[in-house]
Structure 1
Amino acid sequence: MMTKRQTSSSPRELAKAMETSKAPAISRAAAVMRLLGKSDAPLGVQSVARELGLVPSTCLHVLRALVAEEFVSFDPDTKRYSLEAGVLTLARHWLRRNQFTDLAQPTLDRLAQSFGVTMLGVHIVGLDHIIVVAIAQSGQNLQLSTQIGSRFPALISATGRCIAAFGDYPEARLETKFKTLRWDEAPTFEQWQTQVKQTRAQGYAVDDGNYISGVTVVAAPVWKARAKLSHALVAIGIGSAQRSGLSSLATALRSSAQTLSNQLSGETLLEWS
């Protein structure tokens, strides 16, 4: 879960989502905004239409509607479009109501400094994806980074093992999703299942170089309600640099996740010895 493999939806995935949507107009608008959001430069109508497989005239209507709503800006000189500040209004409203971010940030800061790792707080969207909503860096010379709002496949890395362990999903559905994942050193599904069982027993998951070679990732689950896994705390380190303190880090991560779960839910949820 970091810059090497940030997996915001690809144009092909966005196009496929539009095809299967029951509200295609909304899906088109969302796909256009996601495409503009991940583009390093403004895009013209033809480029957007080509990437998303849209008819140019339809694409133009979508873009003009988004400009009118101040979600997208249009440069009359270059005839290109980019995201507008209006999207920040939606994000600000969401962040204001997101209790997890406020509660998790001090914990992420503390763990990042104590263990010299990059810490993430992620929001879980079922088996679809996870979204980074909070970040803390250790301040050390070597850092692994991502950005607020980055999206990743739900079952990837250590977080994915937590989702599989505590999400109560059918095995067949997990296997279907598992086959779509991209790893540097991919485990077999059987190996991954064994690791999921270990995660369920110990309350945290470890990805030891499977997702990105040489990088260890540890994750612990967070609940807003007993029946719904909602978030995870994630620690990212470089192989042997954190190896000696892995057990302590995992225990601290699990304890912090338990505390956050209790704060978010207002009750005592699962506990591990």
Structure 2
Amino acid sequence: MSEVRSRSTRPDRELAKAVQASKAPAISRAAAVLRLLGKSDAPLGLQTIARELGLVPSTCLYVLRALVAEEFVAFDLDTKRYSLEAGVLTLARHWLRRNRFNDLAQAALERISKTFDVTMMGVQIVGLEHIVVVACSQSGANLQVSAQIGSRFPALISATGRCIAAFGNHPEEELKSRFKELRWDHPPGFEEWLKQVARVRAQGFAVDDGHYIAGVTVVAAPVWKSRERPSHALVAIGIGSNLKRRGLPALQQELLGAARTLSTQLCGEV
């Protein structure tokens, strides 16, 4: 689930599609601008932002000026380019302060990461739309995954997606429609994937062995904040051959145990 190797569609297309489908276009446009600036390694000009999001430049300028006034976006008078402003940090800090999952999960992420030399992530599930990385612990020398807090991925991708499909009570037709949009190095067929989802229901965790990223094994276990469906997941990412040497079954059980403990802490027995 590397930000560099992400198999999602281009961010600009995703954001433009979301803007077009929104029933609250003003809010959607502002959110799309913020996400685009957040993904960019350098400040962007008006024309670039408008083109990437499929917006009329005058409309885009109106949104940008409003975000600058609210101190969410900064405007450089010399370069005529826009970037994120420190105001977004205030919102993020308030959210992190209220998020029990992050506080409870961090110690487990660091422990498992160190023990098995894997990159660990805590992700929040946003329906069938996407998952968002909200906590992480980087691995050692064997694999560095550049997914940072705030990184977004399609909900059904990799091992996490199998957990969402297994425990989310989503109609099969909707899963199939979303599945067709996913991008993998070695994509499984939908029927094969459904069989894997069924195994996840039985064992409580999911494994992606090189389907999403060749040579990389991803293990995920769901976390419940309520009894309806998983709200989060713990995700371990490592080089497949290295995990086999260090004990993949042990990692699976450690991850499953940590996820169950977190679920109990967040909402009681699940």
Q: Secondary structure at the match of 1:155?
A: coil
Counterpart Cα distance in 1 of 2:57 and 2:222: 44
What amino acid does structure 1 have at the position aligned with 2:109?
A: L
Counterpart Cα distance in 2 of 1:91 and 1:8: 25
Counterpart Cα distance in 1 of 2:83 and 2:242: 41
Q: Secondary structure at the match of 1:228?
A: coil
Partner of residue 246 from structure 1, selected from 245, 248, 260:
248
Counterpart Cα distance in 2 of 1:4 and 1:75: 28
Q: Secondary structure at the match of 2:122?
A: strand
**Aligned: 1:163 with 2:159:** no
TM-score (norm 2): 0.96
Q: Secondary structure at the match of 1:3?
A: coil
Counterpart Cα distance in 2 of 1:4 and 1:29: 25
Once the two structures are TM-superposed, the CA of residue 154 in structure 1 deviates from its matched residue by 0.2
Q: Could you list the per-position Cα deviations for residues 186-227 of structure 1 after superposition, in whole angstroms to 9, with x for gaps in the alignment?
A: 000011001000000000000000000000000000000111
Once the two structures are TM-superposed, the CA of residue 116 in structure 1 deviates from its matched residue by 1.0
Q: Secondary structure at the match of 1:251?
A: helix
Counterpart Cα distance in 2 of 1:53 and 1:202: 44
**Aligned: 1:30 with 2:25:** no
Contact map agreement 2:169 2:229 (CA 8 A) in 1 = no
Q: Could you list the per-position Cα deviations for residues 119-143 of structure 1 after superposition, in whole angstroms to 9, with x for gaps in the alignment?
A: 1000000100000011112333542
Contact map agreement 2:118 2:238 (CA 8 A) in 1 = yes
Contact map agreement 1:8 1:152 (CA 8 A) in 2 = no
What residue number does 1:190 align with? 191
User: Residues 158 and 139 of structure 1: is their aligned pair in 2 closer, same or farther, counting only changes over 3 Å?
Assistant: same
Pairs within 5 Å for 1:182-221? 182-221=183-222
Counterpart Cα distance in 2 of 1:252 and 1:208: 18
What amino acid does structure 1 have at the position aligned with 2:139?
A: S
Contact map agreement 1:11 1:35 (CA 8 A) in 2 = yes
Q: Secondary structure at the match of 1:207?
A: strand
Stretches of structure 1 lacking an aligned partner (at least 5 in a row): none
Counterpart Cα distance in 2 of 1:151 and 1:8: 11
Report the RMSD for the aligned CA atoms in angstroms: 1.2
Counterpart Cα distance in 1 of 2:94 and 2:47: 33
Q: Secondary structure at the match of 1:152?
A: strand
What residue number does 1:174 align with? 175
| Identical aligned residues as a percent | 70
Counterpart Cα distance in 1 of 2:203 and 2:4: 29
Aligned residues between the structures: 268
TM-score (norm 1): 0.95
**Aligned: 1:122 with 2:129:** no
Once the two structures are TM-superposed, the CA of residue 86 in structure 1 deviates from its matched residue by 0.4
Counterpart Cα distance in 2 of 1:145 and 1:170: 33
Pairs within 5 Å for 1:105-120? 105-120=106-121
Counterpart Cα distance in 1 of 2:142 and 2:250: 22
Contact map agreement 1:8 1:151 (CA 8 A) in 2 = no
Q: Secondary structure at the match of 2:169?
A: coil
